[in-house]
Structure formats: structure tokens, C-alpha cells
Structure 1
Amino acid sequence: MKIFDVIISGGAMAGATLALALDARFGGKLRIAVVESCDISAQVHPGFDARSIALSDGTVQILREYRLWDAIQPYATPISHIHVSDRGHAGMTDIKAEPLGLSALGYVVELAEVGQVYHRLLQERPAISLFCPASIRTVERSETEVRISLEDETTLYGKLLIAADGNTSTCCQQLGISSEIHDFEQVAVIANVEISQPHQGRAFERFTPTGPLALLPMSRQRMSMVWCVRPESLEGITGLDDNEFLLALQQAFGWRLGKMKRVGSRVAYPLKLSYRSRAVSHRFAIIGNAAQTLHPIAGQGFNLGIRDIATLVDEVRHHPEDVGNYAALHAFQQRREPDRQKTMEMTSTLVHIFSNEWFPAVVGRNLGLMAIDNLSVLRKPLLTRTLGQVSR
């Protein structure tokens, strides 16, 4: 019998961050189990094709609180400037770090590199037990505890189970907590691109007739690309060879980064808003992509999940004798709902506005971009959400 205070399903970015944050906040006195199905110990060099995510300034501040940022920063590329534009039209806006008194608007990190950092930190914390690779078979709950059975017949007991295992969460399926799904009717094509000119920390969000195209700065003269297209256009993009793809990308994006020199392997996945209206249940909480999976426009997904983590840690800290009690989980749900709703509404609205080629919509959004660039009353809400400086 293995007894813990908290059991976390999922040991990737969200689950590992939560485990390390709880350990830091409780001074190593909380017994934590992390169950991860993939072997995260494999020493795989990230290489050219490593996947990346953007961390907002607000997320970096949270990571600093948990003493995690110093370990991550050597692998992070700062974003000093965000340029937003509508292809073929005059509307555009720029957000720069320096006028805001910031050293960076955010940072881009490669998941493979941060994964190795987190794996090392998890192993160094004596209060954290890592079960990996391991899969959850059954979940049972009583009034005072949660009982987890793994596929290898190991049984774990805890006071609180937390799902951090993505939008197809095994735990949520076990407990019958379904998600609402909205299909954006777009597919994201992801790849890394090598460019001919220094990116100088610039990030780009360019709206095209097929959907948004984002390029984020990475190390070694690379950009992390997310190109959203309609499903009927996907074959015309994925079927191209590398040179043909680079030409199509150059045409869609332009020459602000010079010539697109090289593209890595391309991966495509359908874009859907997945949202669970309940983020808690009896001795159970849901965070990150298991709670909500957003469209990648504006890069809000992981940053919203980090705010889930920070709020959950805040609430359970008030109840060290029983971290899974109802009062802590109810407070977590109540505090998170406004931020979740506003962030989902913002990203979904941006998708619909900037994927609409109806002429009045095109005129309206371009006037909006120009107004944001010149009117602080419109610019401030965009900055607040982009920088992750929102109440939680």
C-alpha cells in the first residue's frame, strides 16, 4: 500500500509544474505521487524539430515564485516584440517590451529541454514519487480518500487526485466528467523553420484568409511555426515537398524575417475548443488541457493552465491537514471560472473575427487593429491578457 496526500495524473508540463509547486509551497512536507504514461526519462536531444510553447510574463512570475524559473531560463528565448497584422490589409499593431518597462514580453521554451529539466527536479525532491511509465486503470473514491489502481496492479491512496493528463484525460473518463467541444473547422500545421535574418526576439501573428499564422522566436536562428488552415486546404500544404512548402509559407507570411531557408518535419492536428464545465468533483480537481484546450491563437493555453496551478496551490495550502477537502476545491472552482471564461471567449472571438472574409468584417477588424495600436483604452485589455497579468 502506497499512501500520499496528492496524486497527480500526468507528468508533462502541467503535472510536473504542479508537483514541484506543491512541493515548494509545502516545504517538502506534502507526499506527492506523479503518474505519467510516457517514459520521460528518455534522453532525447530536442534537435531541429523540437516543439515549443510561449510563456507569458505573468507565467514567468509564477514560476519564479516556485523557484522553477532559474532552471528553465537557460533554455528560454525572450520575446521582445510582438507584431500582429492582417495579410493584404493595412491593419496592424505592435507590442514592445521596452516601453512597458519589461525585459521581455514572454519567452519561448522547447518542450523536450524543459521536460528533461523537470524530470531531474522531480527526482531530486524526496517528497515526490514518480511512477513512470505507468497508466491508471481504475479510480475509486470514498468519503476520506481516493484509491488509484495502476496497470501493473500497484495501488495508490491519496486525499486528492488531480487530472493533468490532457484533453483525453483518463481520470475524467473514469469519473464520467465529459467535455463540451466546439470545432473551429481549422487544422494546425506545426513545424520549425530556419530563417536567413536574425529574428531579434520578434514574434509574429499574421492573419491569413485560411486562418492565423504564428511564428515564435527560438534559438539557433529558428522560428516555431503554427499555421492554421481549413481542413480542405490541409492536403495542399502537407502534400508539398520542403521547398514548395517554404515558398507557400513565404508567400503567406512575407519577408520580414528574410528568406525561409529550411523547414523541419510537419505535424497537423484538428483545432477544437474542449471545455469541462466542472473543474472539481469529490476529492478531484482538473487543471491545464484536461480542463480546457484552446485554439493556439494568441498562445493562451499553457498560460491559462499555469494560473489553474497557482490558484489550486493557493487554496489547498489553506488546508494542510486535508488538501482534498470540499472547501479548498470549491474555492478553486469559483476563483478560476472568470479567467477561464474570459480567456476562452477572447481566443474564440479572435478566431471567428480573423477567419471571416466577409468584407464588413475585414474592414472592421483592420480598423480595430489600427485603433488598438493608437488608443490605450483598447490596447490595455489586449496587453493584460497577452502578458498574463490577470487576476486569478
Structure 2
Amino acid sequence: MSLDYDIAICGAGPSGMAFAALLVKRGMPGARIALIDAKTLEQASADPRTLALSHGSQQILEQIGAWPIPATDIHEIHVSRRGQFGRSMISREDEGVPALGHVARYGDIVTVLGRACAAHGIVALRPARVAAIDEQQDHVALTLEDGSTLCAAIVVQAEGGLFGEQGAKAVQRDYGQTAIIAQVQSTAPVAHRAYERFTHEGPLALLPQGEEYSMVWCVRPGTAETLLALDDTAFLDKLGEMFGQRVGRFSAITRRLAFPLGLNAGVSGTPRIAAIGNAAQTLHPVAGQGLNLGLRDATVLARLLAQEASPARLAEYAALRRRDRDTTVRLTDTMARIFANNSPAQGLLGLTLAAIDLASPARSVLAELMMYGRR
């Protein structure tokens, strides 16, 4: 039968748009690729959330003309355990890179990616929602909410959503944690240094973003309710108690948002439908690997499908991504479980961090996993 597109991508977030642009860079005509999303690009560009991009992700975005973007470079990552001796410092000089990573607004990332996709001639169907998917032996038919239909050789799911709003995958775990996110200001910020502070309830991350920090504070749901009920001054006092004085006193904060945390991962594809990014694996934000893993998914899948948009290539994709995906899922899951359940293993973390800081090979292995994944 006649196909409208070779590839239809459901979800025009960073992973979906990067995947589309990578297909073009690999030789697929933009007119044979459809991006479908419920939001307009203008709506998506207004999203204030903050994302961490690894050095490897920057290299992927550079390939498709989606770099530079407005972002703050990370030159150092300071990792510590509250109440215990031991810390580790990873620096760009030790790893021989211009930056370990970058901190950017979601809206800025999708704005630049949207321009890149338009320049590549990729078809954008937005705002549009997929109402039904009908997979046949030789194609996939998508019915949109307005009643229109389109047919593609392959469909790629790239719309993940939040944990708790997704259908269960092969591996699902509720960590019993809530992430509180906001932008905070301090009196003595350290330029280009990111912090990961482990507490008995979960990790507390501060990512440099201009003169501010993007805060992700993971705590138990009951603690989250208490913290969210505080006024700004009292909340910042509690944040200071938990984090310490490394960046001075916390002086201002934006509106706080909160969402539940869990793991939802597993290969759930069919012969003509695959998933990338959050649609394939929703991770705990510890180590900030969600988007970076999704961009690595997109890179491998684009290389294969640009050769041939077929079920055989999707099967090959699943095999090639297993090692990196499993390693990243296990790493974040293990760290999250240690701090979600008051595990005795928490007591070993300070010694582990001190050992990593003294042993540069161990530090470099950790840095490479964070920058490039399992290669």
C-alpha cells in the first residue's frame, strides 16, 4: 500500500525532535518523517523546567544543528553525603573536556530543536493527538482526534509523561519519594559547579543556571507535604540546614512544584513500533540521566532506520541498546532505592565517595558513564 510517511514520531519533545533530525542527517528526506504532538511549538517553548545535558548529548545536538542553546556549562560536580565524611569532585580538567555537561531550560532546548527540524523539512503535525494506532503486517495506521488518518512504515513513541501517569512496563517501582523543584538563589554561588548531596530521604541536587541554581530535592511524600506548606523563608532555612553553607545562604526561590518518583522501564515494542526516551524508560532524576539516555536511544535508532524502515532494524535496535540502557537503569535504580528505604548501605556511601576521590581511574569511570553512557 502507499505510505504517507516512512517514520511517524508520537511526541515532539527533545528526544522525538532530535531523532527526527538525526534521521535526516543520516539521509532520510524530511518530507518522509512526521512529528505529532498535542502542543504547539510555542506552547512547548514556554515550559520552564530545567534539564541536564551531558557532554555526549551536546555532541549529538551539534550533529543536527541544534547547538548552541542558552545553557550554563558544568565544570565541576561535587558529590557528598550529609552528616558523613567523604566527598568526590569530578572536574572537566581531569576528563579533558570543555564541560562535563550543561544546564538548560526545556523550552530553550525544544525551541532550537524545532528550528532545526523545520530547516530539515520535517513535517510537524501539531497541535494533534493520536486517538488510535492500528498495526498491520506491512504498515501502522494512526487515527488522529480530528478523524484524519495517516500510514507509516514505523511508529516511534517518544511521549513519556510523568511516572504515575504511564502504563506499567516490565520493570516498575514506586520509590516512595517526591521531587520538589524550583529555582533558588544564594549569597555565594560557585560558578559552573553542580552539587549532588545525598540525604537519608533522597538526593538533593543543585544545578548552576546563570546566577541561580535549579534545585531538585527528593524526599518522602510526607516530608514533601510539610516542606511545600512552608513559606519561602522557612523553606529556604530548611534547604540550608540540609545542604550546608557551600554556596552561602539561600536567599530567594521561585514557585515550588512537586511530582512523584518511580522507575518504569522495559522493552515494550512490537514489530513496527518502538519507544525512545521517557516512553521507553522513566528514571529517578539522581545523576540526571533521563534525557541523555533518550538522546542516545535516538542516535542509534536513527542510524538503523535511515538504512531501512523495517521490523528487522527495530529488532537490531533493541539488541544494540540493551547494554547502555540496562546499565543506566540499574545505576539510577540502585542509588534511588538506597535512599528511599533508609538502607544500611547509606552508611557506606561516605567511605565510597572518599575512595572514588582518591582514585582517579574510578572517578573517570563514573564521569564517562555520566557523559557518554555505557559504550
**1:31 and 2:22 correspond:** no
**1:12 and 2:13 correspond:** yes
Determine the C-alpha separation between the residues in 1 that align with 2:67 and 2:275: 24
**1:237 and 2:238 correspond:** no
1:141 to 112, 135, 156: 135
Query: Per the alignment, in what secondary structure is the counterpart of residue 372 of structure 2?
Result: coil
Matching residue of 1:365: 349
Q: Residue type of the partner of 2:233? A: N
How far off is 1:66 after superposition?
A: 2.6
- The equivalences for 1:43-82 within 5 A come to 50-70=48-68, 72=69, 75-82=70-77
**1:192 and 2:176 correspond:** no
- The equivalences for 1:263-342 within 5 A come to 263-278=253-268, 280-319=269-308, 323=309, 325-342=310-327
Determine the C-alpha separation between the residues in 2 that align with 1:43 and 1:67: 19
Stretch deviating more after TM superposition (111-120 or 226-235) = 111-120
How far off is 1:346 after superposition?
A: 0.6
How far off is 1:389 after superposition?
A: 4.8
What fraction of aligned residue pairs are identical, expressed as a percent? 37
Aligned residues: 372
Q: Deviations over 1:285-322 (max 9, x none)?
A: 10000000000000111111111101101111232xxx
How far off is 1:209 after superposition?
A: 1.8
1:254 to 244, 256, 260: 244
Q: Evaluate the alpha carbon distance shift between residue 243 and residue 78 of structure 1 in structure 2; reply closer, same or farther with a 3 A threshold.
A: same
Matching residue of 1:165: 159
Q: Residue type of the partner of 2:245? A: W
Determine the C-alpha separation between the residues in 1 that align with 2:338 and 2:133: 42
Query: Per the alignment, in what secondary structure is the counterpart of residue 85 of structure 1?
Result: strand
Determine the C-alpha separation between the residues in 1 that align with 2:54 and 2:222: 33
Determine the C-alpha separation between the residues in 2 that align with 1:180 and 1:207: 25
How far off is 1:283 after superposition?
A: 1.0
Determine the C-alpha separation between the residues in 2 that align with 1:179 and 1:123: 36
Q: TM-score, normalised by structure 2?
A: 0.93
Q: Is this contact kept in 1: 2:30–2:120, CA < 8 A?
A: no
Q: Residue type of the partner of 2:182? A: A
Determine the C-alpha separation between the residues in 1 that align with 2:280 and 2:3: 27
Q: Deviations over 1:170-227 (max 9, x none)?
A: xx97xxx8453101111100111122224310000001122100000102x1100000
Determine the C-alpha separation between the residues in 2 that align with 1:25 and 1:131: 22
Structure 2, gaps ≥5 residues long: none
Matching residue of 2:149: 155
How far off is 1:364 after superposition?
A: 1.7
Determine the C-alpha separation between the residues in 2 that align with 1:43 and 1:158: 25
Determine the C-alpha separation between the residues in 2 that align with 1:275 and 1:297: 16
Q: Evaluate the alpha carbon distance shift between residue 329 and residue 45 of structure 1 in structure 2; reply closer, same or farther with a 3 A threshold.
A: closer
How far off is 1:45 after superposition?
A: 5.6
Aligned-CA RMSD value: 2.1
Q: Is this contact kept in 1: 2:185–2:250, CA < 8 A?
A: yes
Q: Evaluate the alpha carbon distance shift between residue 109 and residue 32 of structure 1 in structure 2; reply closer, same or farther with a 3 A threshold.
A: same
Determine the C-alpha separation between the residues in 2 that align with 1:190 and 1:199: 20
Determine the C-alpha separation between the residues in 1 that align with 2:120 and 2:251: 43
Query: Per the alignment, in what secondary structure is the counterpart of residue 156 of structure 2?
Result: strand
Stretch deviating more after TM superposition (107-116 or 29-38) = 29-38
Determine the C-alpha separation between the residues in 2 that align with 1:42 and 1:352: 35
Q: Residue type of the partner of 1:390? A: R
Q: Is this contact kept in 1: 2:202–2:336, CA < 8 A?
A: yes
How far off is 1:125 after superposition?
A: 2.9
Q: Residue type of the partner of 2:171? A: E
Determine the C-alpha separation between the residues in 2 that align with 1:116 and 1:348: 31
Matching residue of 2:78: 83
Q: Residue type of the partner of 1:318? A: Q
Q: Evaluate the alpha carbon distance shift between residue 24 and residue 340 of structure 1 in structure 2; reply closer, same or farther with a 3 A threshold.
A: same
Determine the C-alpha separation between the residues in 2 that align with 1:95 and 1:6: 40
Stretch deviating more after TM superposition (382-391 or 333-342) = 382-391
Query: Per the alignment, in what secondary structure is the counterpart of residue 267 of structure 2?
Result: coil
Q: TM-score, normalised by structure 1?
A: 0.89
Q: Is this contact kept in 1: 2:169–2:264, CA < 8 A?
A: no
Q: Residue type of the partner of 2:223? A: S
Q: Is this contact kept in 2: 1:22–1:30, CA < 8 A?
A: no
How far off is 1:167 after superposition?
A: 4.6
Stretch deviating more after TM superposition (16-25 or 291-300) = 16-25
Q: Residue type of the partner of 1:51? A: R
Q: Is this contact kept in 2: 1:58–1:387, CA < 8 A?
A: yes
Matching residue of 1:222: 212
Query: Per the alignment, in what secondary structure is the counterpart of residue 365 of structure 1?
Result: helix
